[in-house]
Amino acid sequence: MVADAGATTLRAVAELVRAGLVPAGQAAALEPVAARYPVAVPPALAALIDPGNPRDPIARQSLPDGAELLTAADERADPIGDAAHAPLPGLVHRYPDRVLLTPGFACAVYCRFCFRRERVGGGEALSGAALAAALAYIRERPEIREVILTGGDPLMLAPRRLAEIIGALDAMPHLGVIRIHSRVPVAAPERISPELLAALDCETALFLAVHCNHPAELSTPARAALRRLSRAGVALLGQSVLLAGVNDDATTLEALMRGFIENRVKPYYLHQLDAAPGTARFRVPLERGQELMRGLLGRVSGLALPSYVLDIPGGHGKSPIGPGYLSGDNRQVTDWRGERHAL
């Protein structure tokens, strides 16, 4: 593990080299990658990387790789079709009862598999006028019951700014749920401060979906941050992406889901990887994902089981893609060992 990675986020290939995370001989080849897709490795994650391990799961997720510049035939800049359902800047309205609101485009860490790779990376937030227009759109549509704050990472906003947005949503009587998707509790746990916790305090039911892909990310600081959130009354969900070379084995997935539950985080989604440009090295076949989910059923209780989902390319929404257990005109059921039983 790197003990002297520094107290600031590493944002350039030269900084990664100085921190001992990237060999100097690879720097020139990685500069074009960093020029296209932003780099940010925060101290909390840099400290977890073992540079002597070529298969380190944190490094694989967060350090640039030359393969990112290779685009496969089925990959696209907007793999889940956000643009087709964006009535206003910063807003996606795909389902009748919920919308995605993107108040900013900065993240604590820029994951190398991100499906919004072409958009995130700028430090700027949605303009005041654009945010006001998005909030007005939500306010004027009582059929909208849930708002998902995404990005970028909403918890990278200043607590005052975040409090203003949550306050505006909290004042809309037709909203039943505010959901926030964030990597911050594991990537920058120090940001879970009293000021940020105060910003999350509202009357509307608020859920925080914590993005974590490997049990090593649940470090001591991350666990402490999750505990602070839990004590503040924030309902915690866990979401992960199934990634080759990171968590595509039963033992790792079991440890990850158990780690979630032990930290009062209910596993919510295990995502099939979206086909963003340059992410083919992370792709896990659907059949393998279904096999892993079937195995999880025998390793953990239902409390620790996420839903295995695919975001249908083209903007058609999420669909469950977990394994089937009924067969023979629903007269046979398959258990977690793969054995069939008559009904």
Q: Would the pLDDT of 295 be above 80?
A: yes
The pLDDT tens digits for 215-232 are 999 999 999 999 999 999
Is there a contact between 291 and 323 (Cβ–Cβ < 8 Å)?
yes
| pLDDT of 177 | 98
Residue from 56, 78, 153, 274 carrying the catalytic annotation: 274
Query: 83-342 sits in which CATH class?
Result: alpha beta
At 3, the pLDDT band (50, 70, 90 cuts) reads very low
Q: Residue 316 pLDDT > 90, yes or no?
A: no
pLDDT at 20: 96
Domains of the chain, by residue range, sit at 13-69, 83-342
Q: From the candidates 56, 78, 153, 311, which is the catalytic residue?
A: 311
Is residue 281 flagged as an active site residue?
no
pLDDT at 123: 58
Which residue is catalytic, options 65, 95, 223, 248?
A: 95
* H or E segment to which residue 311 belongs: strand 307-311
Residues 6+ apart with CB under 8 A from 28: none
111-164 pLDDT tens trace: 999 988 877 876 577 899 999 999 999 999 999 999 999 989 999 999 999 999
Catalytic annotation, pick one of 60, 98, 183, 283: 98
Q: Which of 44-53, 119-128, 311-320 has the lowest mean pLDDT?
A: 119-128
pLDDT (0 to 100) of residue 81: 80
- Whether 107 is a known active-site residue: answer yes
- Given the residues 56, 107, 117, 268, the one annotated as active site: 107
What mean pLDDT is predicted for residues 161-180? 98
* Residue range 186-210: mean pLDDT, rounded: 98
Annotated active-site residue 111? The verdict is yes
* % the chain with pLDDT above 90: 83
pTM of this structure: 0.94
Q: How far apart are CA 343 and CA 341, in angstroms?
A: 7
Average pLDDT, the chain: 94
pLDDT category at 66 given cuts 50, 70, 90 is very high
Q: Does residue 48 carry a pLDDT above 70?
A: yes
For this structure, is 318 an active site residue? yes
Q: Is the pLDDT of residue 6 over 60?
A: no
Q: Is the pLDDT of residue 4 over 60?
A: no
Task: Please report the pLDDT score of residue 7 as a whole number.
Answer: 73
Whether 98 is a known active-site residue: answer yes
Q: Is 37 a catalytic residue?
A: no
Q: Which of 94, 179, 183, 283 is catalytic?
A: 94
pLDDT, one tens digit per residue, over 298-309 is: 999 999 999 999
User: CB atoms < 10 A from the CB of 328, how many?
Assistant: 10
Give every CB contact of residue 117 below 8 A, 6+ residues apart in sequence: 37, 276, 277, 278
**57 φψ region: left (φ > 0), alpha (ψ -120 to 50), beta (else):** alpha
